[in-house]
A and B are shown apart, each in its own frame.
Chain A
């Protein structure tokens, strides 16, 4: 009986093709928009998330400064108030799983006839773990390299491309390059990290041992000082505890009285990144919500046409009732028709939405993700819209008085 009804619903849809198509169009556009918008939103979210994980998780950065120089404060990181001993002390704190003191500067790099100006990061071997940064080739430097200030370097991908050419015909591992005139052996090539949230190229960088940078590259203002200390907490839960501990430890070590200005600042990188992710998620939701409005409009279109259809087919309903259709048979017949229109519209909409998403990613290079969840959601929402907006017309049909329906011209 159900299959007979399905067949009839299919027939009824085919009876007035243009009208069915136009009704369906509302659904097609609605579902297409939802699928496409969710794909764009989720793509944006994913690319933000990747930037975050590229930075490393549960991270603090302790910057030196801001010091007071005759009343005017200078930028953070300028006065070297942090040193390696601070970093070691931080490493002892409960909840801290990694510490890397960092000093940095610019350097002119030369290999053969090529040269390039890039950021030089001097740090310890732990830095790589904290930032979750691996090597695509070669080996990282070790603690003994840091201890003995050997002239070894890890190159970012951009640096490799500029020094050794775009083609991979030269293997940079083991080659000697010059940084600020001094020879360095290339130990490894860093994994590509892409851009930061603000568009800085993270691959345009060279990592050398901290001591090497301090003693052999950037001269030395105060022995052992560093520009910043990266700190990794164990988990999200201990973030605030670690932040408090960092502040009190460093205040104590730097003899800063309560209420006085600190000569360092602690920044929670993860919080900043999370707010960016939150923004992306909000945008994704907003896009979805706007697209859902068109689904709603599509649903209203279905209801409208079903009401017209019930009126047009009043006599048919009367005949069906006279030969034994129950109220629920009539209800089911019109409900099935509405659901069928919305589901077929939805399927076409999914195809169009996915195609649109592919086109967007091809033409704008923006990341789009069509998740099966978004397709499922669009599908079930469309089906429920069919039920919801089909129910009133169907009930109207089912409640017709058979005699009046039979007399209807």
Chain B
């Protein structure tokens, strides 16, 4: 039986403003099985970014359950959440978010620092991943010396360095031209074929078509899901 990596039930999120609570997510339900490849789409303000932040354990829901890889995130202590971000999830951002002062090698190796890996092992693993994304020649360069597409490859290498089960990508091609976007998406496709679960946010349909499944948000709700897991399948031993 296929294991579910993400399971979200009746999720609500509201921001408190001066004018009262402002709801962003209203009763969101989603199950993502291991090996799935999901594109989340929707207009800006539809709540898809907030949803990604919650999936990435950067934000907490106001109400509802989020179970990630068998663990109820809401009940975790801060240090455990940090560990989940470090080991279970790999993040890829629209703006790459590399450390400008560090070399590409150190950027890729950074998550391993927080995992407590020794220096030699860090560098060995990081250079392996830089090679995988085709940047081993530049490993001692700095992020401002390479192109946007190359920076995003470094970010992907960084996301992969701790061998996560899940890659979360928030508009990974948003800052790239269409050719480079295709190259980046090819990397994601390859990773998914290796068995890594991928959830990405995009508003471009041609990008979303790389995914096996498209989920559309509107006004804080899921309005369309091309690959919803049938309720009969949710018979697993988690929760």
Contacts and interface: CB of A to CB of B under 8 A. Distances in A.
Interface stretch (A316-324, A371-379, A381-389): A316-324
Contacts of A11: 101-102
Interface string A311-329: 0000110111111111111
Max chain B C-beta neighbours (<10 A), residue from A320, A322, A326, A327: A322
Contacts of B114: 1, 320, 323-326, 329
Contacts of A3: 119
Contact of B110 (A315, A323, A327, A328): A323
Nearest to A322: B91
B85 interface: yes
Contacts of A402: 58
Interface in B110-136: 110-111, 113-116, 119
A15 interface: yes
Contacts of B229: none
Contacts of B87: 324
Contact of A320 (B83, B110, B116, B162): B110
Contacts of A1: 113-114, 116
Contact of B58 (A4, A316, A403): A403
Nearest to A1: B116
Interface string B91-118: 1010001110110000000110111100
B159 to A, nearest CB: 8
B149 interface: no
A197 interface: no
A323 B158 contact: yes
Interface in A122-172: none
A4 B82 contact: no
B141 interface: no
Interface in A378-409: 402-403, 406
A209 to B, nearest CB: 82
Nearest to B88: A324
| A-B complex: 8 closest residue pairs judged by Cβ atoms | A324-B86, A326-B82, A324-B114, A323-B111, A402-B58, A324-B85, A319-B97, A4-B113
